[in-house]
Chain A
């Protein structure tokens, strides 16, 4: 942080930053419209699937009395996993004072908010009686992991929203001051209201720093518990494949892998679409790549523990489960997730070439896909092999095949998540303006004054 520049220099720099970082808000081309159209359409179609399901009962899904959790729960776990990137990037890395992570943290929070919100919605969609949701508050039993899960999911959502909002306040005041008629009046008004009368004096900045620090520390236990508790939904049962003591940390690390992958993809899209090369630089991708290798390595370690030890013992019921994963019907998914989605990325990302934006983003797509496979494999195969034989039920109860309604609802969850991210990007800058300005040595006093170049 050097402070040697003249006021003009500072102002010019700030103008450039503001014009770069507001591109996501101002962009009004065909593509944006098309993108929103697609999102809303698919999310709407998916929602219609849910209406059908409410009308006809969960019988419209491929689930049965034996495989009684399916795509929904797999998606739930997937979304909870992805949301944990908020914790990693905008809390842990910030607390460690890793400065390159600053411009990425708002994108990470966008993902966290969208994913955790959808996780909550999916749980309701999976319920046989969503109309009785209130029973959880009326008759909630604190001994049930589901109640813990709902508690931490909502707390995590609240803290994530605050972590998104508080650093946004100075930006909002700045945008309100500087942006002219190019912005619709309602947006300016919105900024004004949300800016809460921000003046930008030292005291206010001190409050913001302080609040952020408290939140960053608070979110760590909450974030860790949201995924740990999610893993307990499975680990609290006696079923082979779920009855594992390392499920908590195993899920948390897996979440870091999935979330980091998702963030890299989002960064790449923003960089391309909003011309943010100077903000999401090659260096950022390089660092994200290294972070990805690190979490992948830890995840690999957990995977080896989770599978090698039971394979060595081959207990009866456990053995049946492991066989379906290793060489049975799920072998493709399993090995894809392990080799293509884990081992290969670890090897490739070690090479500098693969830490460049495009290759890294492509690898992240594969990682995200196999992360989803992994969640599917956690939920479904275990249920296909209960302790006692499955008899005297229709053939469809023996195996799980998602139906079109489930696909529709899954479509909804993905498009709704993207929609939330897109709306956030359209409403607010995707990178914190004042932090970038601070990083570039621009004095805070310029932030709140009106633009003079217009």
Chain B
């Protein structure tokens, strides 16, 4: 954990409070008017990563979250001038599943819902098995957005494929269309639905999730807007993920924070994309699982 200044802490906290919206807005505002007073009044809050924290009421500060429509509008546009890409180094994956955990808590997912799923793969009988984290590939020719009847899933300028669960009608055509099984559905009430009640919908995190609507990996678009790496990328302990902007030709490793040239990494590592013959043109590249020692396959983890 890096050191945090008090101001930084307050800033994050403010954002979390806004995102969580546990307090009714009235009391939140009145509390926020007296920011520096010490009242000794403790309250419990839910952060955007799903943790509960206890803070002094006097430390609350209003968050600057845009309204629902504004949020959806800017969420649809994307970050100007960006073109996000991910490179997954299969030779490094040890099946730690930290990415899956971080993702599930960030996006309010049930244990069986995976925006990112670490699969145990074996290409043929004679080759070694390996682990393959599989997020949504944010295809540049996405079969999923083409079939949506209401434009509830769409491709943004910066390459990210997002979902608007305020609009989704739950027809699940996009699940049928995605060849990579990247999409999950809220068959039941989402995890911790009560905690998230009344929270303003953040289209870039797809939180709060809603029963009867779709969800999938969003490259943590909310984090990207804040200039941070996606949750899975920064959670990985093994340096599997590189994430960055193709326009800048730079990708950063989530573990080592090292930044390298995207083209070079992809070229020198002989990267490939999944099932490229389908013509979906994924934005997620894989470096081959050379030397990965997949421990014997022990069955599913849920």
| A residues lining the B interface (CB < 8 Å) | 56-59, 61, 63-66, 68-69, 126-130, 132-133, 135-136, 138-141, 143-147, 150, 233-234, 236-239, 383, 386-394, 397
**Of A144, A233, A392, the contact of B146 (CB 8 Å cutoff):** A144
Q: Is B51 an interface residue, CB under 8 A from the partner? A: no
Q: Are B180 and A397 in contact (CB under 8 A)?
A: no
| Contact of A144 with B185 at beta-carbon distance under 8 Å, contacts A392-B301, A394-B112 already known | no
Q: How far is the CA of A66 from the CA of B172 in the complex (A)?
A: 10
B contact residues around A237 at 8 Å (CB): 143, 147, 176-177, 179
Q: Are B119 and A388 in contact (CB under 8 A)?
A: yes
Q: Are B188 and A388 in contact (CB under 8 A)?
A: no
Q: Are B185 and A68 in contact (CB under 8 A)?
A: yes
Q: Is B246 an interface residue, CB under 8 A from the partner? A: no
The 3 nearest A-B residue pairs measured at CB: A128-B170, A128-B212, A59-B188
Can you list 10 A-B pairs, Cβ within 8 angstroms, ordered by A? Answer: A58-B187, A61-B187, A65-B113, A68-B172, A128-B172, A144-B146, A238-B143, A392-B119, A392-B301, A397-B112
Q: Is B292 an interface residue, CB under 8 A from the partner? A: no
Q: How far is the CA of A58 from the CA of B213 in the complex (A)?
A: 10
113-139 of chain B: CB within 8 A of chain A = 113-114, 117-121, 134
Q: Is B261 an interface residue, CB under 8 A from the partner? A: no
19 new A-B contacts, CB < 8 A, other than A58-B212, A139-B167, A392-B117, are A58-B185, A68-B175, A69-B176, A126-B171, A129-B170, A132-B167, A144-B148, A144-B149, A144-B150, A145-B147, A146-B171, A146-B173, A236-B177, A237-B147, A237-B177, A388-B274, A389-B121, A392-B100, A392-B114
B contact residues around A68 at 8 Å (CB): 172, 175-176, 185
A contact residues around B180 at 8 Å (CB): 387-388
Q: Are A128 and B278 in contact (CB under 8 A)?
A: no
Q: Are A239 and B176 in contact (CB under 8 A)?
A: yes
146-173 of chain B: CB within 8 A of chain A = 146-152, 167-173
**Of B134, B150, B189, B278, the contact of A57 (CB 8 Å cutoff):** B189
Q: Is B1 an interface residue, CB under 8 A from the partner? A: no
Q: How far is the CA of A234 from the CA of B173 in the complex (A)?
A: 9
B contact residues around A393 at 8 Å (CB): 112, 114, 300, 302
A contact residues around B121 at 8 Å (CB): 389
Q: How far is the CA of A394 from the CA of B117 in the complex (A)?
A: 14
Q: Is B191 an interface residue, CB under 8 A from the partner? A: no
Q: Is B71 an interface residue, CB under 8 A from the partner? A: no
Q: Are B302 and A233 in contact (CB under 8 A)?
A: no
Nearest Cβ on chain A to B209's Cβ, whole angstroms: 12
256-301 of chain B: CB within 8 A of chain A = 274-275, 278, 280, 300-301
Q: Are B172 and A239 in contact (CB under 8 A)?
A: no
Q: Is B186 an interface residue, CB under 8 A from the partner? A: yes
Nearest Cβ on chain B to A382's Cβ, whole angstroms: 9
Q: Give A144's nearest chain B residue, CB to CB.
A: B149
A contact residues around B301 at 8 Å (CB): 392
Q: How far is the CA of A138 from the CA of B168 in the complex (A)?
A: 12
Q: How far is the CA of A390 from the CA of B180 in the complex (A)?
A: 10
Q: Give B215's nearest chain A residue, CB to CB.
A: A65
Q: Are B149 and A69 in contact (CB under 8 A)?
A: no
A contact residues around B214 at 8 Å (CB): 128
Nearest Cβ on chain A to B99's Cβ, whole angstroms: 12
**Of B134, B173, B183, B185, the contact of A388 (CB 8 Å cutoff):** B134
Q: Is B23 an interface residue, CB under 8 A from the partner? A: no
**Of A66, A128, A141, A389, the contact of B171 (CB 8 Å cutoff):** A128
Q: Are B186 and A57 in contact (CB under 8 A)?
A: yes
Q: Are A128 and B186 in contact (CB under 8 A)?
A: yes
Q: How far is the CA of A129 from the CA of B214 in the complex (A)?
A: 10
Q: Are A144 and B173 in contact (CB under 8 A)?
A: yes
Q: Are A57 and B212 in contact (CB under 8 A)?
A: yes
Q: Give A63's nearest chain B residue, CB to CB.
A: B187
A contact residues around B100 at 8 Å (CB): 392
Q: How far is the CA of A391 from the CA of B131 in the complex (A)?
A: 12
**Of B114, B149, B181, the contact of A147 (CB 8 Å cutoff):** B149
A contact residues around B147 at 8 Å (CB): 144-146, 236-237
B contact residues around A66 at 8 Å (CB): 181
Q: Are A135 and B188 in contact (CB under 8 A)?
A: no
Q: Are A392 and B169 in contact (CB under 8 A)?
A: no
**Of A56, A147, A383, A386, the contact of B188 (CB 8 Å cutoff):** A56
Q: Is B211 an interface residue, CB under 8 A from the partner? A: yes
**Of B112, B151, B185, the contact of A141 (CB 8 Å cutoff):** B151
67-110 of chain B: CB within 8 A of chain A = 100
Q: Is B31 an interface residue, CB under 8 A from the partner? A: no
Q: Is B184 an interface residue, CB under 8 A from the partner? A: yes
Nearest Cβ on chain A to B113's Cβ, whole angstroms: 7
**Of A56, A127, A387, A390, the contact of B275 (CB 8 Å cutoff):** A387
Q: Are B169 and A129 in contact (CB under 8 A)?
A: yes
Q: Are B169 and A132 in contact (CB under 8 A)?
A: yes
**Of B118, B149, B183, the contact of A140 (CB 8 Å cutoff):** B149
Q: Are A394 and B169 in contact (CB under 8 A)?
A: no
Q: Are B211 and A57 in contact (CB under 8 A)?
A: yes
B contact residues around A145 at 8 Å (CB): 147, 173
